[in-house]
Structure 1
């Protein structure tokens, strides 16, 4: 069996249990603490931990295939692991002491959430959340939104502006990893999006939280790590959308297969034998196939870049970024332009297969479209398309997403 088939065999029963409760959780807005606990206990969070460190050591492609499987079961659960796997991906570039500190924790089932984005008030490239020296360690203070996964995690990774010895913000930004159960950390389940409602994407506050020196990690643009992580983070979202498309396919097929009623305007045969309805389900299946194939192609591009970085010893010198890393980012950008439309189209076409009964809230079929749309809005597709065009026209290197903040006023606005 392939590496994917081996690990798939371990997690398939858990995925099936997760799928069985997905609609009930969405309808009642029940956060998936139990599904996450089951995955953590089975070592899901250690999939990318090297085998010699006690993990599964799977490729990015294998991880992506599993995330598509999980997203087909429940897109919320697959999505909330994005932050954890993003953290895991950075460890090969960290100091040996950091790796020795964190790999055993990940193998033991501990997870890491995300707290990077601020809801407003910070200029692009700066942060209001601060990190300052405090004795032998550091102290973290601030507030974040879109803290996906943090409410389910043992730790969370927080982006912060470093305060200098003079008490003023420096130009340096770092990551601080802190325990979620620290007395100074408060996590709020206040995410009100119409889709992906169970990802824990809400507010997290940090009030003078002590940070161990080994848990302050560099955040440097233009390195192998930065380029890889930017592409990887988007790949996880694409895997979630491919899983949603597959779920729409499966629900469409199942709905048609069990439907007994038909219309006089059709052939009079049961829906499952109706040529035109079969074709509609076939189109959804084709969209799901195209979405997954595109995402896996991007994953293979990331694996190729990863292998080159590993061969060179995971350098932190910006001069050592292989061209394959930018090729991988371009592959992810191409997928980012195409996959959301495929997932949204599949989720919408689902309603053309069984008639008005599909809109019953008791079925919950609308969640596929709501979830696909929510994931698709994570950053503007137009910016990805522009980047692709700039590369193919002018040879410009792609720039991965690394900051969100208030825009600089234009000259006309500033002087008005």
Structure 2
């Protein structure tokens, strides 16, 4: 296992180049294809690939530390790795044939995007994207939105409703992993969010795409894999937000340090010597510290659960979920409630340090708040807070995010129905 310090030194020059161009890319809306390709070539996508399989074999905590470093350079680039890292996390639960197929590809710098969510029209618990048996292969058809990372990736992992030989939908939903540039796949850069504008979170369409059986991966709810993946996906978002807070801290400090103009309502000293301004920057730094510390505490809880998964041979048996998995899930939920508030407050406080000049579009300081707010909206914080409260009051096991769809009165579920 390679240490954080060694990897930080390895990636630092790349992070510095990424940071230098972050604001220009955001302002001109230039997708970061080249920086991501450079990171992949340097092995950033293989952080969690075992060393015996050609990767770095790091812990989740080390991975999140590096991801925070990257997010401080450019939160868009860090965010788009969420899909790829999530895919790699699931590989230990797959067959040896699947691992032999994907670990070498990831170690060689190839990446996997995401195509799970549909923009609307699918009932909760179902999908309009279909996966049909077609002789020795399968056929994938449908349209997805929020396909973060896919536009930069070599492959994308698509959630789909499995169809029976009779053409009727079954109760199963599988993942299909397909080449992004393959026949029948079309990727659109149509994400129009006001923040995280360069994550490639747009539409991907699939028109009769042929899928090798080895690239059809079952989804089994109620397993340790399902609990782990749900918590891990949320942790990545929190790491991205922690990086944004650190970036806001650094920008605030740099702005104050070089400012010479002041106000007659102050002491008349340069801003960098003003006690009250120093305190404002200190508060931003404290929020950034608290956000990062919270994320890393949750990462350590996931690492503790990972040891139990490994000891159990990465069992796919439904219901065979160690208690440590739910402890980790609760840690991530607690972080999910607090970290966005800390980061948004840090991004907002940035404008209290130097006055109206901070709002100049030439500085691009608004991007920290825009980006933090966009990431924070990915899952309703109120749902996480409710889950935490239910656990501490009633001992109810938390329920991971299993599906998104149109709700009806008959689609309401209880925790026991989806655990």
Structure-2 separation of matches of 1:228 and 1:302: 8
- Partner residue, 1:51: 51
Residues 1:399 and 2:415 aligned together:
no
**What is the deviation of 1:378?**
0.2
Q: Deviations over 1:202-261 (max 9, x none)?
A: 000000000010100011111011000000000000000000000000000000000000
**What is the deviation of 1:410?**
6.9
**What is the deviation of 1:319?**
3.2
**1:74-223 paired onto structure 2 within 5 Å:** 74-223=74-223
- Partner residue, 2:227: 227
Q: TM-score, normalised to structure 2's length?
A: 0.97
**1:12-411 paired onto structure 2 within 5 Å:** 12-409=12-409
Q: TM-score, normalised to structure 1's length?
A: 0.98
**What is the deviation of 1:2?**
7.4
Aligned with 1:400: secondary structure? coil
Q: CA RMSD in A?
A: 1.1
Structure-1 separation of matches of 2:4 and 2:177: 30
Aligned with 1:318: secondary structure? coil
Deviates more, 1:282-291 or 1:399-408: 399-408
Structure-1 separation of matches of 2:154 and 2:356: 44
Structure-2 separation of matches of 1:300 and 1:193: 32
Structure-1 separation of matches of 2:187 and 2:240: 24
Contact 2:2/2:57 (8 A) holds in 1 = no
Contact 2:238/2:295 (8 A) holds in 1 = yes
Structure-2 separation of matches of 1:201 and 1:272: 40
Aligned with 1:319: secondary structure? coil
Structure-2 separation of matches of 1:409 and 1:306: 37
Structure-2 separation of matches of 1:101 and 1:260: 59
Structure-2 separation of matches of 1:277 and 1:402: 46
Structure-1 separation of matches of 2:318 and 2:293: 31
Structure-2 separation of matches of 1:319 and 1:313: 15
Q: Deviations over 1:149-197 (max 9, x none)?
A: 0000000000000000110011100000000001200000000000000
Structure-2 separation of matches of 1:410 and 1:54: 48
Aligned with 1:23: secondary structure? helix
Structure-2 separation of matches of 1:163 and 1:118: 18
Structure-2 separation of matches of 1:247 and 1:359: 16
Aligned with 2:319: secondary structure? helix
Q: Deviations over 1:256-276 (max 9, x none)?
A: 000000000000000000000
Contact 2:220/2:318 (8 A) holds in 1 = no
Structure-2 separation of matches of 1:334 and 1:3: 27
Runs of 5+ consecutive residues of structure 2 not aligned to the other structure = 412-419
Aligned with 2:120: secondary structure? coil
**Runs ≥4 in structure 1, deviation > 6 angstroms?**
none
Q: What is the aligned length?
A: 411
Aligned with 2:193: secondary structure? coil
Structure-2 separation of matches of 1:11 and 1:285: 24
Aligned with 1:277: secondary structure? helix
Q: Closer, same or farther in 2 for the Cα pair 1:256/1:139, shift >3 Å?
A: same
Structure-2 separation of matches of 1:42 and 1:135: 40
Structure-2 separation of matches of 1:267 and 1:400: 53
**What is the deviation of 1:330?**
0.3
Structure-1 separation of matches of 2:44 and 2:65: 13
Contact 2:188/2:203 (8 A) holds in 1 = yes
Structure-2 separation of matches of 1:324 and 1:410: 33
Structure-1 separation of matches of 2:28 and 2:206: 29
Aligned with 1:148: secondary structure? coil
Contact 2:2/2:58 (8 A) holds in 1 = no
